[in-house]
Structures are given as C-alpha cells and as structure tokens.
Amino acid sequence: MPLAIVHSRGLDGLSAPEVAVEVHLTGGLPQVTLVGLPDTEVKEARDRVRAALQNSGFDFPSKRITVNLAPADLPKESGRFDLPIALGILAASGQIPGNALNNYEFAGELSLSGHLRPIRGALAMVLAAGTRGRCFVLPATSAREAALARDVRVLTANTLLEVCAHLTGHAALSECVASDDHPGHSNDYPDLAEVRGQTQAKRALEIAAAGAHSILLAGPPGTGKSMLATRLPGLLPPMTQEAALESAAVLSLAGQFDPENFCRHPYRSPHHTASSAALVGGGSVPRPGEISLAHQGVLFLDELPEFDRRVLEALREPLESGRIHISRAARQAEFPAQFQLVAAMNPCTCGYHGDPSGKCRCTPDQVARYRNKLSGPLLDRIDLQIEVPALPAEALQKAADGEASATVRARVTLARERQLARQGKPNARLTTKEIDLYCQPDADGAALLKHALSRLNLSARAYHRVLRVARSIADLAGCEAIAAAHVAEAVQYRRFAKD
C-alpha cells in the first residue's frame, strides 16, 4: 500500500498533542516533500532518514515521497520525527507490515548509521500518550525517563533495525521498567547543621519550607547567605508522585532531566546576567525558563539588585499564580512555576552598611539608590525578609551545633501535612478568601497586627502575607489558633524593607 500512517507526538509547552505522520508514495521524479509546518530540524530529516535506511540495509524508494505531519496547524520541531518518518517510508514501500504500526507510538532522532539518539521531552510525551493505550517506542536513553510514567508500556531500542525486527516479529524489543528505588528520596542534600550561628536565618528557612514561602536574605559578604539557600531543598517535604512527574517533565523539555534525580527537589541558581527569556522562558518556540525548571524546588537569585530590573519584574506574576504564560505572535505556551524564591543581597554597594567595624563608606544616597534597584511591588511579594549579620570570630571557631536538616524536615513535613489536611495547599498559595477563612488571629493577635499595620505602613498584599506566615508559624507549633506570638514573629520578617 503506497500510504502509511505512524503515530507520534509533538510538543506544545508542557502538553504533547498527537501527531500523525502520513507517508505517501507515488510515481514521478524521486524527491521527499515534508509538509505540516516543519521547522528546519524536521526538514533536515529527509537526509538523515535516507542515509539511515540505506546504512541499515533497506531500500530507499526511487519515487516521489510526501510526508504530512498532521495536524497541519501545529508547528513541528526537533529530530523526534526521524524514526516515525523512516518507519512510514518502510511501511508505504512494503518493507515492513503497515498494520503492525497501529498499536505503537514512536519518537527518536536517527543518526546516519541508523542508531537512535535521545530526544527532549520524552516524559511529557509518554504522559500524554497514557490515554491512548498504545506502547511507546523510544531510544534507550530517553526510555529510562519515560518509564517513570507507569501508565504506558515503554519499549527501548538502540537502532532502526531493532525497531523493524520487533515490528516484523523477528526479535522483540525489551520493555523499560522504572525502579521503585529512587536516589532522590535519600537525604543527601547539604545539611543545615553545617551552618554555624545565624539562628534567626535558620528559623526563617524552616518557616519558608513549612509554608512554601519566598525569602530574602540580606547581609554583608561571607555571612552564609548562599550556604543557607543551598540548605532549603533539604528542608522541604518529600514530593508526591504527581509533583515529581510534573517537575521531571519540565526538566525533560529542556533536556536536563536525570532519572537518578527523580523525586529530588530542583535547585536552580542563574547568574545575575541572565536575560528575561532565560529566567521566565521564551524563544520563537517557547521553552521553559529557570522559574519553570525550578518547579517544585528552589530558585536562588544571588546578588538580587544586580539583576536587570525588567528581568526581576517578570517574576511578579509567577510568584502570585505559580504559572507562567508565554505569548508570541504565532504561539502561546504555559508552563508550571511553583518555585520557592530565595534571594540574597548586600545591604549596600560595598556590602558593609551597618557593620560594627565601620568598613562602609557609602553615603545614605548611595545606600538608597542600591536598595531602590528593587521595586516595592517585588519586595511586597517576598514573604520573609531578614538580615543575615556577620558572625563574631568566637562563633566561627566553635563546632557546629545546630539541628540537622532531617530533624527540621520532620517538623516541616508535619506542618505541611496539617496545611494539606485543612485547606489542600501550602499556606503561601492561599487566596484572599481562604486567608479570611483559615488565617484569622485571636483577639490579641488581631490587635498586634493592627498596630503593626499602622507603624510599618504595610500594603494590603503585605498584610495578607503576614497572615500566611503567621499561619505557618502556628502550624509548626502545632497550634490551631494564630496567637499574638505567631503574629509578632511574622511581622518581624517584614521589617527589612522598611529600614
């Protein structure tokens, strides 16, 4: 039959719509025509497929070959369509049985020798294929991550010949099965006990982990801000299977997922020269940025005022919504971005403003200009803002005696379980209506909060964030009611921006 249809998947943001690769052979001058909005990588498949078929011992038909990638209005990119195109040509020319293709979906880039190379987004594609009930054939490297989606049978192949041998019944492909033992479950994160001193900062990290709050660490150079930030992933509660799959799928889109790190909270730390597209995502074909790659994990922005202001302002929407919408003239995409922001900054340009040694020579105007690089609306969206002071020599010389990450994580996990049982989400993601329902303090706490509002001139957004933080403090203490002590502690974490 001169017509063959092979099932595959495209990528549109985090979704993976089905793509039918239709191959038709007819008489005429030998040529290969690709239609269906293919980009340059897909168009180059005709040369890769020709060489792969010939080097694998198959005949490349001397006919006019038309390959249609349907639906026609969905842009197609990358080399993942090489394998389905090659199989379509073989089926249309009668070299393999066409009816054997119906129960499978295929994706893989072909080398000129016929070997299969890994592709981006394999996990997202297999997750989308779960409703179809077909097996998915993938290159061996990509199959390891795709097998984490347990609802789909994933077959692994190394060459085009192996795929054809399976379809003709000569040698079956092996199934790739995900292991239940994931190293990401282990406690090999950096340990909080290694941080000396900084008791208040450690407490703030614990609160941030319990309620999924964002945090700003301000202090002189060398006080442990970066060290504290790297400890936050180890304090977070274990990821659910659903959250781990979503995080892995986003990393897979960027080709940065390692199955060995499944269920491990991501930690991203982009340089301050990062562009807006690098941070929030973008490109002519929208790709996830750092905020999405940090989904279900931590995004650390060191030297926060050194980032371009427009880059930082782009964080405002995803900090509120937990998602990022990328719009281009021809394409739109949406990516998840439920990350915990940890930002660090110096108190002034030289870094020593307020230091008892008197090192700082910055004028008040210079200090104000440095801090004004951060807009009020952005600071308003950061729940906890604390100072990390320089430690005296005696504290540095003492042995580390703080709590281990595992001990703190146990308290954090209990507090998070209370939140999920009460409202189904972490405190940082409560809506205004839910804050009124779950975060109302007692009489003393309400009076204290009213006084703080007038003294610190807090905005309505900051007011709601104080209530969310107070709710997390109460959850850590195992209290159902928010008391004045919980409100007082939450208010002190908003004082830095007002100093």
- Asked if the model's pLDDT at residue 183 lies above 60, the reply is no
- Asked if the model's pLDDT at residue 83 lies above 90, the reply is yes
Q: Which of 135-144, 160-169, 194-203 has the lowest mean pLDDT?
A: 194-203
How much is the average pLDDT of 455-468? 88
- Write the DSSP string, 374-404: S-HHHHHT-SEEEE-PPPPHHHHHSPP-S--
Model confidence over 331-372: pLDDT tens digits? 788 899 999 999 999 988 888 887 777 788 888 898 888 888
Band of pLDDT at residue 472, cut at 50, 70 and 90: very high
Residue bearing the bigger pLDDT, 494 or 67: 67
How much is the average pLDDT of 250-272? 92
How much is the average pLDDT of 440-454? 89
Q: Does domain 3-175 have CATH number 3.30.230.10?
A: yes
Nearest to 277 by CA among 254, 255, 258: 254
Question: How many C-beta neighbours within 10 Å does residue 76 have?
Answer: 25
Question: How many C-beta neighbours within 10 Å does residue 181 have?
Answer: 7
Average pLDDT of the chain?
90
Q: Under DSSP, is residue 78 helix (H, G, I), strand (E, B) or coil?
A: coil
185 by Cβ neighbours in 10 Å (0-12 / 13-18 / 19+) ranks as middle
Q: Where are the domains of the chain?
A: 3-175, 186-425, 430-499
Nearest to 75 by CA among 6, 8, 10: 10
Band of pLDDT at residue 181, cut at 50, 70 and 90: low
Contact by Cβ (8 Å): 135, 202: no
Question: Tokens 């168009």 belong to which residue?
Answer: 43
| pLDDT value at residue 435 | 93
How much is the average pLDDT of 150-171? 93
Model confidence over 2-52: pLDDT tens digits? 899 999 999 988 889 999 999 999 988 899 999 999 999 999 999 999 999
Question: How many C-beta neighbours within 10 Å does residue 313 have?
Answer: 14
Region for 108 from its dihedrals, namely left if φ exceeds 0, alpha if ψ lies in -120 to 50, beta otherwise = left
| pLDDT value at residue 361 | 85
Work out the angle between the directed axes of helices 484-492 and 460-477 (0-180°, nearest 10): 120
How much is the average pLDDT of 179-188? 61
Model confidence over 300-328: pLDDT tens digits? 999 999 999 999 999 988 998 899 988 87
Q: At residue 7, what is the residue type?
A: H
| pLDDT value at residue 82 | 97
Band of pLDDT at residue 156, cut at 50, 70 and 90: very high
pTM (two decimals): 0.90
| pLDDT value at residue 498 | 47
CATH of 186-425, one of 3.30.230.70, 3.40.50.2000, 3.40.630.40, 3.40.50.300: 3.40.50.300
- Asked if the model's pLDDT at residue 482 lies above 60, the reply is yes
Percent of the chain with pLDDT over 90: 66
| pLDDT value at residue 496 | 61
- Asked if the model's pLDDT at residue 186 lies above 70, the reply is no
| pLDDT value at residue 476 | 95
